[in-house]
Amino acid sequence: MPFYEREDKILQILAEKKTIGNQELARLLFISLPTLRRDLEKLESKGLIVRSHGACSLNRQIADEKIPFYYREQRQSAEKHQMARKALRYIKDGDVLMLDASTSAYRIVPLLGSFKNLIVITSGAKTSYTLGTMAIKNISTGGHMITKSLSFVGTEAVNTINRYYADVVFFSCQGIAEDGRVTDSSVEENEIRRAMLLHARKKILLCDSSKIGRGCFHTLCHVSELDEILCDAPLPERFRRMMGEGE
């Protein structure tokens, strides 16, 4: 198996596991430890993984940008499904929805079949395709595609969003900082999300508990600007206070 195939396999395994020991990883790949160490050195030099004594894990802030949609979709899978189920209570027949290209928002799509007369506006290529297979009317933003995330970005995408207004927008991020900033490492995708937030009546963030307290370098908004945060675990009280709840 050449390195590029092993690289894909390593990233797929790490997308499913938070951390894995080198011996177990070598066993799963059917390679020797010296070969694995060389592979891990290359991945570490690209910023995709973090190595510790005898183990490795994804460097999430870098990997979220560079790991393909499929692998990110597998990570925190149960948590994303739980958040998607919670999202349904904010949707009703005839709604216009906006969905960003995140894997968290994508998890809502298979659950939309029971609703009637929905219109979905999305920057996600896979999201649009899946909606089409379900015969759900949808509008793709178009624009320049980020191939790793299957996300449309750029002026054309923003212009499309600006022509519509939605009842609800569902979106995700890479982390909520301790001070309540909703953050991500992709400036281009944040520009799309910002346009969606400006053109939706209700703003709902999907954020699994692993992202709480994590801040990335680019700020999208503050939690006080949101109507709801859907999480797989109870939201910390400090964020509820910032959102004006529990007062």
* 43 and 83 inside one domain: no
Q: Give a yes or no: residue 206 inside a domain.
A: yes
Please give the span between the terminal C-alpha atoms of the chain, in angstroms, as a whole number: 59
Look up the domain containing 48 and give its range. Answer: 3-58
* Measured distance CA(56)–CA(47) in Å, rounded: 12
* 47 and 118 inside one domain: no
* 30 and 112 inside one domain: no
- Domain with 103 in it: what CATH number? 3.40.50.10470
Nearest of 225, 200, 197 to residue 119 by alpha carbon: 200
Q: Give a yes or no: residue 167 inside a domain.
A: yes
pLDDT for 25 equals 94
* 37 and 83 inside one domain: no
* 174 and 202 inside one domain: yes
* 99 and 147 inside one domain: yes
* 203 and 83 inside one domain: yes
Q: Give a yes or no: residue 64 inside a domain.
A: no
Q: Give a yes or no: residue 192 inside a domain.
A: yes
Domain count, the chain: 2
pLDDT for 180 equals 96
pLDDT for 21 equals 95
Q: Give a yes or no: residue 164 inside a domain.
A: yes
pLDDT for 23 equals 94
Give the Å distances, CA to CA, from 139 to 39, 53, 110: 42, 48, 17
* 189 and 222 inside one domain: yes
* 217 and 108 inside one domain: yes
Q: Give a yes or no: residue 247 inside a domain.
A: no
Where does a domain end: 36, 58, 80? 58
- Computed on alpha carbons and rounded to an integer, the radius of gyration of the chain in Å comes to 19
Q: Give a yes or no: residue 132 inside a domain.
A: yes
* 145 and 24 inside one domain: no
Q: Residue 218 class from Cβ within 10 Å (0-12 exposed, 13-18 middle, 19+ buried)? A: middle
pLDDT for 246 equals 44
- Domain with 45 in it: what CATH number? 1.10.10.10
Q: Give a yes or no: residue 66 inside a domain.
A: no
SS3 37: helix
Written as tens digits, the pLDDT of the chain (247 aa) is 777 678 878 877 887 777 899 999 999 999 999 999 999 999 898 888 899 989 998 886 665 555 555 555 555 577 888 999 999 999 999 999 999 999 999 999 999 999 999 999 999 999 999 999 999 999 999 999 998 788 999 999 999 999 999 999 999 999 999 999 999 989 999 999 999 999 999 999 999 998 999 898 899 999 999 999 999 999 999 999 999 864 4
* 79 and 53 inside one domain: no
Measured from the Cβ of residue 225, the count of other Cβ atoms closer than 10 Å reads: 14
Please say whether the beta carbons of 202 and 178 come within 8 A. Answer: no
Please say whether the beta carbons of 70 and 126 come within 8 A. Answer: no
pLDDT for 161 equals 98
DSSP E strands, the chain = 19-21, 49-52, 55-58, 96-99, 119-122, 137-140, 144-146, 151-153, 166-172, 175-176, 181-184, 200-206, 218-222, 228-230
pLDDT for 72 equals 55
Please say whether the beta carbons of 205 and 184 come within 8 A. Answer: no
* 34 and 117 inside one domain: no
pLDDT for 203 equals 98
* Measured distance CA(237)–CA(15) in Å, rounded: 29
